[in-house]
Structure 1
């Protein structure tokens, strides 16, 4: 019983902290691209080096990745901004995964029921593919899922590599939008929107492939014709 009570407290504390961060940053919009630019710009020539760790920590604290990439675009232009957003996204993914895995991973295993166990088993079997699909899907925030992957037990190399593979196109799309924030009907901004949409379509297609493969692995569902 003490062990179970401790697991409940650890998991509740983690989820409470993440909910508070989501309310402040993800939903409240307290920190946006302009604020991030104001923090990084004073670093001058060292701004590119400062951006990666600062954005990595902010992303793990659930500041939206779109705001971080847009800030990179405002500060450094679309190409360099996207190139800096990618390592920042990897730092965010690894940091968020480590925090949640250490704090609540074992607690989740101890407390979860059949359905949650099935979901965590699916994430562990398909760790790299699951991360890639999630990063490509439209309107799906990376920060909360990085924490969820940590709780599910996805390996660090899977979340790091999956983020490095799949976050580039979306980072470039948001960097294009940030770099062209003064003209959202211009060619650069429209290219960013088109790239974001195309990335989402690819993500949906890959999600269908992964789910179909998993269904084949599990075999036919009882009662189906």
Structure 2
């Protein structure tokens, strides 16, 4: 009982602190941060790291700190201090969620979170690496959410530190280049071009990683075999509604979401974030587009059915 009371008290203090921090977030900017660090001397980097960690816990914008780190400490040390601060803050939020709020959140959220947790835990550090490289979710919220899983703490810390590096480097250098632009430093054009290049590289990461996560294509024979074996998978038919009920028919149990509507209807597939999905259309062109979109949005096991419904019908497999 005493332990429970302590946990509830700490949780209440955290909620109040987050509320206060959010209410004053408009006053949290690079100029204010620089003012805080003036006069800190050799302790400046340590103070900066602690502020960054506290900001991550209290839902303050990390982008402000990352840019400020580049402006204050340069591209090399700034990147290192930003990474340490972000990782420390992410770890603190992770531990808070795991040991203070996990039971309460479990009771309040129910089955859908349980399904998501099982998928995340199945992939382990690879999921952490993916969401650090591809910012699908807000950084501060994600730290707490991952604390509700059984992901190994050491794996979480290592994957976070390594896979946050590209984004940290790009935005730190952007902060450094901005400071140089204001000061009129030498080689300004080259520095700005390098900053832009790094940002483009980070922006391209989701597409590149999505291709790595995309599963190999499968034939209609393989799909039929999996369905006959009652494998747990989603058959996602991405044709139009007219084609879905048209002459080629559709596979029993298939979910129809036209590829043109897929990006707006991804919430309907949340339960399959870590489960097998096969996409099918008339041939396989639209299926390939759907798989690319799903892979970029974090779906871990997605496949194109080669030949689509045309090939399915050639084999005289049952349709509805």
Give a deviation string over 1:98-139, Cα, whole Å, max 9, x none. Answer: 112222212233343332211111222223122222222258
Higher relative contact order (CA 8 A, sep 6+): 1
Higher Cα Rg, which structure: 2
Q: Does 1:192 align with 2:192?
A: no
Single out whichever of 186-195 and 144-153 deviates more from structure 2: 186-195
Q: Does 1:221 align with 2:220?
A: no
Aligned to 1:154: 151
Aligned to 1:90: 87
Q: How many residues align?
A: 212
Distance 2:54 2:46 in 1: 14
Of 35, 57, 61, 1:60 maps to 57
Distance 1:190 1:70 in 2: 16
Question: Which blocks of at least 5 consecutive residues in structure 1 are unaligned?
Answer: 1-5
Distance 1:207 1:104 in 2: 32
Aligned to 2:19: 20
**1:206 to partner: Cα distance:** 2.7
Distance 1:212 1:20 in 2: 43
Distance 2:43 2:17 in 1: 31
1:27-66 equivalent positions in 2, closer than 5 A? 28-66=25-63
1:88-167 equivalent positions in 2, closer than 5 A? 88-138=85-135, 140-167=137-164
Distance 2:115 2:175 in 1: 40
Query: Scaled by the length of structure 1, what TM-score is found?
Result: 0.77
**1:49 to partner: Cα distance:** 2.6
Query: Scaled by the length of structure 2, what TM-score is found?
Result: 0.56
Check whether the contact 2:96–2:147 (CA below 8 A) recurs between aligned residues.
yes
Check whether the contact 1:21–1:62 (CA below 8 A) recurs between aligned residues.
no
SS of the aligned residue for 1:42 comes to coil
Q: Does 1:75 align with 2:72?
A: yes
Answer 1 or 2: which has greater helix percent.
1
Question: Which blocks of at least 5 consecutive residues in structure 2 are unaligned?
Answer: 183-187, 217-230, 236-252, 255-279, 281-320
Distance 1:192 1:21 in 2: 34
**1:76 to partner: Cα distance:** 0.7
How large is the RMSD of aligned CA atoms in angstroms?
A: 3.3
Distance 2:57 2:192 in 1: 27
